[in-house]
Chain A
Amino acid sequence: NAGVTQTPKFRVLKTGQSMTLLCAQDMNHEYMYWYRQDPGMGLRLIHYSVGEGTTAKGEVPDGYNVSRLKKQNFLLGLESAAPSQTSVYFCASSYSINRGRQETQYFGPGTRLLVL
């Protein structure tokens, strides 16, 4: 049971380049999330998904797109990377039980992205 995994672990992009971050979980969780972490700001939610084929915007969605084609995978895309997107990105997942009540979120190890 690997839990939540993220690929890649580290990436350097040039401004304007695109890339996709992959998050995978093997816990059969319904909910998945993408956060970014910046110094002094805690974690901020980018997008989330409450089930296969559904996605929703979080606090800071601009410049990112997501897809949840399979229950176990949640992809985060940057179409045209900007230096402001330099950050550490965390994926998380959780169950959804009892009309929206969730269990604890389980986090992946993070992806460090540097945009030059």
Chain B
Amino acid sequence: AQTVTQSQPEMSVQEAETVTLSCTYDTSESDYYLFWYKQPPSRQMILVIRQEAYKQQNATENRFSVNFQKAAKSFSLKISDSQLGDAAMYFCAYRKTSYDKVIFGPGTSLSVIP
């Protein structure tokens, strides 16, 4: 069965600095999707970034980028120039391309220090 692990329950970063959130996953599939979702205090889940496993290029979305290491089954999220609005829970998630279920990690709580 697929699993998603986030080993950092809590992280903090100074405003304007860079922080990296870790995620590892376990799968026997070769083609799949990986996601990072953000959940601010409002509780709504917001997609931050998506990576297709068949693409070697790391996904980037403005200040957010990923380091996708397929062989190591690692998918870390880098937030550059951190802002106060980045404070939230961040969930790493996995989905097989031919299956309906998204598997979420337990989340990392990110605090941004002014």
**Is the CB–CB distance between A100 and B105 below 8 Å?**
no
Chain A, 29-53, CB within 8 A of any chain B CB:
31, 33, 40-45, 48, 50
Contacts of B44 in A (CB 8 A): 107-110
**Is the CB–CB distance between A104 and B35 below 8 Å?**
yes
Chain B residues engaging chain A, CB cutoff 8 angstroms: 4, 9, 35, 37, 42-47, 50, 91, 95, 97-102, 104-107
User: Which listed residue, B45, B98, B99, B107, touches A92 by the CB 8 Å rule?
Assistant: B45
Chain A residues engaging chain B, CB cutoff 8 angstroms: 31, 33, 40-45, 48, 50, 56, 58-59, 88, 90, 92, 99-102, 104-110
**Is the CB–CB distance between B43 and A43 below 8 Å?**
no
**23 A-B pairs whose Cβ atoms sit less than 8 Å apart in the complex:** A40-B106, A42-B105, A42-B106, A42-B107, A43-B102, A45-B101, A45-B102, A59-B101, A90-B45, A92-B45, A100-B98, A100-B100, A102-B100, A104-B35, A104-B50, A105-B102, A106-B47, A107-B44, A107-B45, A107-B46, A108-B44, A109-B44, A110-B44
Measured CA separation A101–B107 after assembly (Å): 25
- Shortest distance from the beta carbon of A34 to any chain B beta carbon, whole Å: 12
Known contacts A41-B106, A43-B91, A104-B50, A110 near B43 by CB under 8 Å: yes
Measured CA separation A63–B46 after assembly (Å): 28
